[in-house]
Amino acid sequence: MTIQEVSKIYDNIMFMNSWANMADVNHEGRRMFKYVSFKFDTRDGSIYVITLYSGNESYSFRLDDPDDLKRMYEFLGWE
């Protein structure tokens, strides 16, 4: 995914799954994450993995795999 495409995912995480919107997120029963990291490939400028951190747990998803991307959307409750 390009930086622009990942930026949209990041914006959704900030709006729907972050501590910044804790009251709304808790009310709707979504997962919340404190940290997000990305793996960036300098050869082609793509971002291919996103990792979400919550407490001692981390969840990684491959952004270049449509099945894993779908799994991430379901995991975050974005259906």
Residue 4 or 23, more confident: 4
Are 38 and 18 in contact by the 8 Å Cβ rule? The answer is no
Q: What is the pLDDT of residue 72?
A: 94
Question: 1 - beta bridge partners?
Answer: none
Overall average pLDDT of the 41-57 stretch: 93
- Of residues 73 and 20, the one with the higher pLDDT is 73
Give how far the C-alpha of residue 76 lies from the chain's centroid of Cα atoms, to the nearest Å: 8
pTM of this prediction?
A: 0.84
* Mean pLDDT in residue range 52-57: 92
Rounded to whole angstroms, how far apart are CA atoms 30 and 49? 21
**What value does the mean pLDDT of the chain take?**
89
Find the domain containing 13 and state its range: 3-76
**Segment 10-45, tens digit of pLDDT:** 999 988 888 887 776 666 777 888 899 999 999 998
pLDDT of residue 62: 96
* Overall number of domains in the chain: 1
Nearest to 61 by CA among 43, 78, 25, 37: 37
